[in-house]
């Protein structure tokens, strides 16, 4: 399969070059040339498939035969090797717990897959690949840990100073080796702008091979479709129908993956795009006018995005037809006070502990769910990653998994940069050359 640029559908690339370069030559994002509808045979056997097997059956349409099917089956089984359970929270709402991977966040799925695909494609490339990634929280830890120790790949994680939790920060600043953490004196949007500027710097690209591990890379966001199929299978087995999925949304790669799964035949009734007060997309869904805005810091920091890169992909999926988009997606933004009150309410009534991002998903579902529908919200991060927020609200300690404790005991190793591109460029060149 070929992949086209969101800036020009006639500009296409093969899989290997799309993964290695991340962005198209005209700076557009890559999209699959076609989206296949899954055959009936897949649905017949879906209830008995593991997460890795679902990954193989769904993603092979995009990644094979460039990766031979036998090798690809091994790759998906290795990447998707941890539980992703659908857990009842109330009679009408369940959580898809995506935080049982190595870094306790949903991005482990995409990052582990991307790291394995990238390692395969760069094995005989002849020069190092330099991965630039901006993070507002969990992306940095998932990508850093996914690529840790991969030969021929250097990873640079840009994050906004003081705007990620201490737990999140320790997960990518304590690794060393081929991972460089860069603390930027600015916001996540500044970090994302710096990464985009680097990709547009032809002089830098003459010296280094650059790629991205943010969800702008198709091998990062496409594998996230896998857990939508897995969640559907579990929900049906639990006796649920008329399933609505709520996606806490920041850069919108997660929702994009779910919508591609939907176009492949996933029989989810509709999607809810839940944001914090960075509500560019919910406003667009009402007005039809997209207006980027400076990001605002919130307790759900991984969603603090004022200009989500992946929304253009959603527009492409629906051919920029607002009516068609609104038939499948509704948008809702959640105020900070509602995040806090939802965490408390759900803990008091259901004894279930939400993190701030999951609280947004739960709150949005309860506002939008119709009689007879069953809602699934994506629980994207373990609540132990946000102890200062969560423990104060529920008035008890959140148990820390052992793998999280190991990160917290590590020594922080960082480079520092302002939000000026030339300063960042010097840091990257000093480390990479």
d(CA 331, CA 286): 8
Give the number of domains in the chain.
1
Position 137 pLDDT exceeds 80 = no
Taking residues 204-224, report their average pLDDT.
90
Position 152 pLDDT exceeds 90 = no
b/e burial code for range 20-43 (CB count within 10 A of at least 16 → b)? bbbbbeeebbbbbeebeebeeebe
pLDDT of residue 119: 86
pLDDT of residue 181: 96
Q: Edge to edge, what strands does the sheet with 30-32 contain?
A: 8-13, 3-5, 30-32
Q: Among candidates 2, 63, 64, 4, which has minimal Cα distance to 30? A: 4
Residue 208 covered by a domain = no
Q: Among candidates 231, 218, 289, which has minimal Cα distance to 83? A: 231
Residue 391 covered by a domain = yes
The whole-model pTM stands at 0.90
Residue 148 φ then ψ, to 5°:
-55, 120
Q: Which of the residues 9, 107, 205, 385 is marked catalytic? A: 107
Residue 150 φ then ψ, to 5°:
-70, 120
The C-alpha R_g of the chain, in whole angstroms, comes to: 20
pLDDT of residue 216: 87
Range of lowest pLDDT (13-22, 46-55, 251-260, 399-408): 399-408
Residue range 282-307, pLDDT digits in tens: 999 999 999 999 989 899 988 999 99
Confidence at 125, pLDDT banded by 50, 70, 90 = confident
**Are 189 and 159 in contact, with CB atoms under 8 Å apart?**
no
Q: Hunting for tokens 């279930």 — which residue is that?
A: 352
Percent of the chain with pLDDT over 70: 100
pLDDT of residue 1: 94
Confidence at 278, pLDDT banded by 50, 70, 90 = very high
pLDDT of residue 126: 74
d(CA 114, CA 210): 15
pLDDT of residue 123: 79
Task: Please tell me which residue, 126 or 116, carries the higher pLDDT value.
Answer: 116
Task: Please tell me which residue, 166 or 110, carries the higher pLDDT value.
Answer: 110
Confidence at 113, pLDDT banded by 50, 70, 90 = very high
**Are 47 and 233 in contact, with CB atoms under 8 Å apart?**
yes
Q: Among candidates 192, 72, 55, which has minimal Cα distance to 136? A: 192
Residue 246 covered by a domain = yes
**Are 184 and 161 in contact, with CB atoms under 8 Å apart?**
yes
Residue 109 covered by a domain = no
Q: What is the residue range of 396's domain?
A: 83-102+221-400
Residue 60 covered by a domain = no
pLDDT of residue 168: 84
Output DSSP code: residue 376.
Answer: E
pLDDT of residue 364: 97
Residue 376 covered by a domain = yes
Is 107 known to be catalytic? yes
Residue 344 covered by a domain = yes
Q: What is the mean pLDDT of the chain?
A: 94
Residue range 364-410, pLDDT digits in tens: 999 999 999 999 999 999 999 899 899 999 999 999 888 888 888 88
- CA 25, 278, 319, 365 dihedral sign is positive
d(CA 342, CA 377): 14
**Are 266 and 236 in contact, with CB atoms under 8 Å apart?**
no
pLDDT of residue 124: 73
Position 433 pLDDT exceeds 80 = no
pLDDT of residue 63: 98
93: left (phi over 0), alpha (psi -120 to 50) or beta: beta
Q: Hunting for tokens 């280094």 — which residue is that?
A: 208
pLDDT of residue 302: 87
Residue 136 covered by a domain = no
Q: The domain that contains 370 carries what CATH number?
A: 3.40.50.1100
Position 136 pLDDT exceeds 90 = no
Could you tell me which residues come within 8 angstroms of residue 1 by beta carbon, excluding any fewer than 6 positions away? 15, 32, 33, 34, 61, 62
């Amino acid at each position: 399969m070929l992949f086209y640029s969101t800036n020009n559908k006639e500009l296409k690339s093969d899989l290997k070059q799309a993964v290695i370069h991340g962005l198209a030559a005209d700076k557009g994002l890559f999209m699959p040339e076609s989206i296949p509808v899954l055959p009936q045979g897949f649905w017949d056997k879906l209830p008995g498939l593991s997460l890795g097997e679902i990954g193989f059956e769904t993603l092979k349409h995009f990644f094979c035969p460039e990766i031979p099917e036998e090798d690809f089956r091994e790759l998906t089984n290795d990447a998707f090797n941890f539980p992703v359970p659908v857990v009842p929270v109330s009679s009408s709402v369940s959580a898809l717990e995506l935080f049982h991977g190595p870094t306790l966040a949903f991005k482990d799925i995409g990052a582990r897959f991307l790291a394995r695909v990238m390692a395969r494609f760069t094995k005989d490339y002849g020069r190092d690949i330099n991965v630039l990634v901006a993070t507002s929280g969990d992306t940095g830890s998932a990508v850093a840990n996914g690529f840790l120790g991969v030969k021929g790949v250097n990873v640079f994680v840009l994050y906004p100073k003081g705007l990620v939790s201490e737990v999140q920060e320790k997960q990518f600043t304590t690794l060393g080796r081929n991972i460089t953490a860069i603390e930027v004196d600015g916001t996540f949007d500044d970090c994302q702008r710096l990464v985009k500027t680097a990709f547009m710097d032809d002089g830098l690209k003459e010296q280094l091979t650059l790629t991205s591990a943010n969800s702008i890379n198709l091998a990062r966001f496409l594998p996230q479709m896998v857990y939508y199929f897995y969640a559907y299978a579990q929900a049906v087995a639990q006796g649920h129908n008329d399933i609505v999925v709520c996606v806490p949304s920041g850069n919108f790669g997660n929702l994009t993956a779910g919508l591609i799964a939907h176009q492949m035949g996933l029989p989810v009734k509709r999607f809810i795009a839940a944001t914090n007060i960075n509500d560019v997309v919910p406003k667009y869904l009402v007005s039809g006018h997209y207006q980027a805005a400076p990001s605002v810091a919130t307790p759900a920091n991984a969603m603090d995005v004022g200009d989500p890169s992946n929304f253009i992909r959603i527009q492409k999926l629906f051919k920029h037809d607002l009516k068609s988009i609104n038939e499948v997606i509704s948008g809702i933004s959640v105020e900070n006070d509602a995040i806090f009150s939802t965490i408390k309410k759900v803990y008091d009534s259901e004894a279930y502990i939400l993190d701030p991002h999951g609280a947004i998903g739960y709150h949005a579902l309860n506002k939008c769910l119709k009689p007879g529908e069953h809602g699934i919200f994506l629980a994207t991060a373990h609540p132990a990653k946000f102890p200062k927020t969560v423990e104060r609200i529920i008035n008890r300690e959140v148990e820390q998994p052992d793998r999280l404790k190991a990160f917290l005991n590590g020594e922080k190793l960082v480079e520092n940069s302002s939000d000026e591109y030339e300063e960042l460029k010097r840091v990257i060149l000093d480390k990479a050359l």
